[in-house]
Amino acid sequence: MNFDSQKNRRFSDIYIPSQEEKTEATLKENIGRRGIKISLGINLKKIIFLAVLLGIASVSFAYAFNVKLNIQLTPIKEDFLIEEKATIEKSAQASDIENLKLSSKPIEVETIKSELYQSAGNKISETKATGIIRVYNNYSETPQALVATTRFLSSDGKLFRTTKKVSIPGAEYKNGKLTSNYAEVTVEAAEAGEEYNIEPATFSIPGFAGTAKYTGFYGKSLNKMTGGSRKTIKFVSKNDISKAKNSLEKLVFEEGLKDLQKQVPDGYEIIQGSLEQEIIKDQSNVNEGLEADNFSLKFKAKSKALIISKEELNNLGKKLAFKRLSQDKEINPSSLAVNYGISDFDSGKEKIEINLEIKGESFTKINTDALFEEIKTQRLSSLEQILNEKNNFAGIKFEKTPFWLSRVPLDKGKVKIEVNLD
């Protein structure tokens, strides 16, 4: 093998640049690096500039489209009172506000009401016990007449009297022995009370005391005496009936008014003083002296009235108020109250005169369009003073967007002026 030829060939594959070539390569490298640095510096400045410009544009855009100014004005209000006369016509088909005439409509209902009342009358009720006595004649064959009210005394001392004249048949001899006969006699206790309701007993006749007849005539009851009593009972007095009727009349009229109010359409009201009520039927069945703890009454009543439109009444009040107030005044709608009274209501008359009383609050009119023209572009710091110079207000409030807004916008669409009447 020829080692010399291989050695020479291996060295010939490695290239060693000359000094000139090294210098040229180094110069190109340095120029390329500086060019990159210069290029990067120029691009960064452009980006920052564009970002700032975009931010300013965004803020300006937001400002232009989000500017708002709300101005809330509370005017000074004054109370007013107006009194006037008007007419309500029954047969009128419609109201004539211009001529202070209101139409009306009739309504009518019938109401039935019953109520239970306690009896307040007290009295003592007394009854005497009664019963049957067999009166025996064991004295003679001769009949014995007993007059009415003949006394019979029980073995325990209770006195009874016959209710009518009776005759006791004579005794009979049977087998040589006198056999008594009897007659049944109705008797009544001498006094009232439960103590005379005695069990069967033997009775003597006090009128025969001291004679032979006292033992020859006697009585016996076979059953208990009954019906004797003494107690306090309730009864219906004249005063009870009078008080109950007054009470029920009040109740049925109250119920009738409720029924009548149910018939009033929305937007209407019953004319004050036009209500008429009467009892058309007394369906009670109670008499003075009736013994009872309680009793009932039943009434049927008629209720009728006239109704008017509340809207027409208020319209009439507004018309009179605007007529009396100066032209530069406005009325606070929520404060307006129209009251009326009728001095003498007569259901038989076609026309009813009423006294109107109109109350409310008024304030000086505020022309928001003209006001905007006067305050646009004005500084907010002096706006309250400017507004009060134009029209003195009880209160002025601002709400602004953005918070640094310092002047009233020129664009009317960005300014809202409100009148606060609360």
Is the pLDDT assigned to residue 407 strictly greater than 80?
Answer: yes
Same structural domain, 190 and 248: no
Minimal CA–CA distance to 73: which of 387, 328, 334? 387
Same structural domain, 256 and 181: no
> Tens digit of pLDDT for each residue in 146-172?
999 999 999 999 999 999 999 999 999
13 band by pLDDT with thresholds 50, 70 and 90:
very low
More confident residue, 419 or 55: 419
Q: Give a yes or no: residue 269 inside a domain.
A: yes
65: left (phi over 0), alpha (psi -120 to 50) or beta: alpha
Same structural domain, 226 and 299: no
159-163 — which CB contacts under 8 Å span 24+ positions? 159/189, 159/190, 159/191, 160/129, 160/131, 160/133, 160/187, 160/188, 160/189, 160/190, 160/196, 160/203, 160/225, 161/187, 161/188, 161/190, 162/186, 162/187, 163/130, 163/187, 163/188
Structural domain boundaries, residue 152: 124-231
Residue 126, C-beta contacts closer than 8 angstroms, at least 6 positions apart? 192, 193, 229, 230
25 band by pLDDT with thresholds 50, 70 and 90:
low
Q: What CATH number is given to the structural domain containing 276?
A: 3.30.110
Q: Give a yes or no: residue 70 inside a domain.
A: no
Same structural domain, 164 and 112: no
Same structural domain, 161 and 214: yes
Q: Give a yes or no: residue 251 inside a domain.
A: yes
- What's the pTM value of the predicted model, to 2 decimals? 0.57
Same structural domain, 112 and 250: yes
pLDDT of residue 53: 63
pLDDT of residue 154: 97
Domain end call among 231, 260, 293: 231
63 band by pLDDT with thresholds 50, 70 and 90:
very low
Same structural domain, 116 and 239: yes
Same structural domain, 243 and 110: yes
43 band by pLDDT with thresholds 50, 70 and 90:
low
pLDDT of residue 10: 42
Same structural domain, 227 and 294: no
Q: Give a yes or no: residue 132 inside a domain.
A: yes
Most confident of 223-227, 318-322, 362-366: 223-227
Segment 340-367 shows an average pLDDT of 85
Same structural domain, 238 and 268: yes
Q: Please count the other Cβ atoms lying within 10 Å of the Cβ belonging to residue 33.
A: 10
Residue 218 Cα distances to 129, 137, 146, 180, 418, angstroms: 20, 7, 12, 11, 116
